[in-house]
Amino acid sequence: MALHGKGMFIWKVRRCEGGDPEAIARVAAQAGLTHILVKVADGIYKYNVVRGRDLVPPLIQALHRRGIQVWGWHYVYGNDPIGEANRALQRVHELDLDGYVINAEDHYKGKFRQARIFMNRLVGRLSLPLGLSSYRFPEYHPDFPWQEFMPPMDYVMPQVYWLLAHNPGEQLRRSLRQLRRYNSRAIYVPTGSMYRITNWRPSAAEIREFMQTALEEGLPAVNFWEWYWARTQLPDLWRVMAEFPWPPPDAVTPPPGMDPVDRLAWLWNRHDAQAVAAQYHPGAVLVTASRVYVGRENIQGFYTQWFQNTMQSAHFSVITKTGHEDRYRFRWIAQRPGDRLMRGEDTLNMRDGLIGYHYHFETVI
């Protein structure tokens, strides 16, 4: 099941609402949360097991009864990659999770071989969506094994913690530009700051800006770190998050694993100009036979008119495509109900995982 909406990380279950799973589920539902990410393992060990009692299964059951997804996250160190992968597989097998998230950070720096071992053991054995939670800016962490972790991911959940700053939107966009170079197929669900350190704390306006920027970038969901800190130290920000009107699912989030061509065609068939425009770099150029459109806003304007007039109710199909990674060429056909066929030949040049240049040609068959 795809993620859509607002989510919250839980570190230690017993600290949240007194460890009462029904209370956690009730509060989550009241806040309009669609998913919870709970820690299920730490290294080679289970997590949130207290005096032999696993606190995760009753929490999953309570949340599922309210229609809230539960993803398990696992902090990994890289000292025993086979043992950590086996623990992940065991936790996924015994828990009714909706997805599994690898949380790899400082302990994995420089451990490229261990990352390959871990991923080789894990990928192909999981039946759940796979996600990565790690740094927001890869350029600051060149010794982290990005190339080993990123390619198989269905979801990427960068930790966009704007600590000691007040520019969440700018940092989120920068994070997306950098991370999409490693995986342009994944769905991005960023994690924002809802905790405080020393004299710094996020503001209500910043929480709203973070979520609004995610929507403007066409992202289907966001997360926040972390439940206990937000509920006990920043209840005003919890209310801001709860009151933010995240739009309901409207079938404009492509399934994971699509390349840029298939994703674009999938969105063309939804006739949503804003969702299509979100696939373009903010400085993208779209060239048609009659005009050049520069920038995401102008490109959205083109698609608004295209869907309302030329391609009203049309269904698109890609018939051939070539290329990979940074450049694609494809041919397509479109059929309007009771009307003639249209065909097109397009070229996409990618930039930071988004469409940077698009040459578009269409004609009536």
Q: What is the pLDDT of residue 355?
A: 97
Using the predicted structure, report yes or no on whether residue 251 has a pLDDT greater than 70.
no
Using the predicted structure, report yes or no on whether residue 128 has a pLDDT greater than 80.
yes
Q: What is the pLDDT of residue 185?
A: 80
Q: What is the pLDDT of residue 156?
A: 96
At position 185, the amino acid (one-letter code) is R
Using the predicted structure, report yes or no on whether residue 72 has a pLDDT greater than 80.
yes
Where in the chain are all domains bearing CATH 3.20.20.80?
5-243
Fold assignment, 260-364: Nuclear Transport Factor 2; Chain: A, (3.10.450)
Tell me the average pLDDT across 131-139. Answer: 98
Q: What is the pLDDT of residue 339?
A: 66
pLDDT tens readout for residues 218-236: 788 999 999 999 999 999 9
Distance (Å, rounded) from C-alpha 39 to C-alpha 37?
7
**Cβ(351)–Cβ(327) below 8 Å:** no
Where in the chain are all domains bearing CATH 3.10.450.50?
260-364
Using the predicted structure, report yes or no on whether residue 135 has a pLDDT greater than 90.
yes
Q: What is the pLDDT of residue 217?
A: 81
Using the predicted structure, report yes or no on whether residue 286 has a pLDDT greater than 90.
yes
Rounded alpha-carbon distances, angstroms, from residue 136 to 112, 239, 351: 19, 25, 18
> Which CATH architecture best describes the domain 5-243?
Alpha-Beta Barrel (3.20)
Q: What is the pLDDT of residue 225?
A: 98
pLDDT category, 268, cuts 50, 70, 90?
A: very high
Give strand ranges (E) for the chain. Answer: 5-10, 33-42, 45-46, 49-50, 53-54, 69-76, 99-104, 130-133, 155-156, 159-160, 187-188, 191-193, 221-225, 280-287, 292-294, 315-324, 327-335, 341-351, 354-364
Distance (Å, rounded) from C-alpha 160 to C-alpha 5?
17
pTM given for the model: 0.76
SS3 352: coil
Q: What is the pLDDT of residue 252?
A: 58
Q: What is the pLDDT of residue 219?
A: 87
pLDDT tens readout for residues 5-47: 999 999 999 999 999 999 999 999 999 999 999 999 999 999 9
Q: Which residues pair with 71 in a beta bridge?
A: 37, 99
Distance (Å, rounded) from C-alpha 97 to C-alpha 91?
9
Least confident of 89-103, 194-208, 314-328: 314-328
Tell me the average pLDDT across 343-360. Answer: 96
Mean pLDDT of the chain: 93
pLDDT category, 294, cuts 50, 70, 90?
A: very high
pLDDT tens readout for residues 89-101: 999 999 999 999 9
pLDDT tens readout for residues 320-348: 999 988 999 999 998 776 666 889 999 99
